[in-house]
Chains A and B, each alone.
Chain A
């Protein structure tokens, strides 16, 4: 097996997701528009580079991209995310 797998999982993005969405997101399940499977955000594949990219753990299709700029986050969301954000 490879010792150099270059991806993590969505758990590693939990802090940033709270920052962006205002709620804990890793247990939220997302239905992939490409393959139709539902997986928790925490089990998506996370690729980290200049930005963070989440991909479907089954088919690899893009789920989320976040780029951190000095004054804002740029967020691109794909597929079906069911999220409930508590109100203060």
Chain B
């Protein structure tokens, strides 16, 4: 078993880590606080859904700030898309989500990460649970699944403050063969029939898939959200090894 794991690691290509200067070719408003930045990346080595890139900005005085952002686009897409939510006290996100214009250049390196990834050949069922902008890497997985014409059973449970805070809403609505559940924690449209509370074990049990179906689970969101969800999943009997998590810090959903 360990030998197999070692050989698998040996077969991975040497990770590309050089910084490259890339150009924003499109900017798409997702919500009042978030934008998708589409980048032209010549010689992009390709990525797996769930991976991220590091973004580096350099000020005129030489000061550099660097952050990691999940890739939103599918590996099959020609361009690399990042969706960035503006954090009020952020150093990088206010620029990316607010000031950057088409034609501007930024530095990125990647793709990076091998722990929070899914490829269609990994199979399913797939259970994706996102809090706020934690949807981004999960969306890359759904886009990859769609691009491959995969029939792997997939569910998405997304926690957001309100419907207006949900990224990619129209695209999600078009994913007919994905069971999508929203829970809106702060405000609901009139007549809302979906969930209206923080994710808990009861909600996770209703959404499924049951532990007996051995789903591959991916949870991404603020640290406290991921903790709560992972605890709930383990309480329901999901093996910890099947639960992949990615935390992006203390910003709430």
Binding site for B on A (CB under 8 A): 1-12, 14-15, 18-19, 22-29, 40-43, 82-86, 88
Contact = CB atoms under 8 A, between A and B. Distances in A.
Contact of B12 (A3, A10, A23): A23
A3 B227 contact: no
B14 A22 contact: yes
A29 to B, nearest CB: 7
Contact of B9 (A5, A22, A42, A84): A84
Nearest to A3: B252
Contacts of B14: 22-23, 85-86, 88
A54 to B, nearest CB: 13
Contacts of A12: 68, 247-248
A5 B222 CA distance: 9
Contacts of B12: 23-24, 86
A26 B113 contact: yes
B32 interface: no
A58 B12 CA distance: 28
Contact of A5 (B5, B10, B112, B227): B227
A86 B54 contact: no
Interface in B129-186: none
A86 B245 contact: no
Nearest to B66: A15
- Most interface-central of B2, B5, B15, B110 (chain A CB within 10 A): B15
A74 B193 CA distance: 54
Contact of A7 (B68, B112, B115, B223): B223
A24 B224 contact: no
Contact of B245 (A41, A43, A83): A43
A84 B223 contact: no
A60 to B, nearest CB: 14
Contacts of A82: 2, 5-6
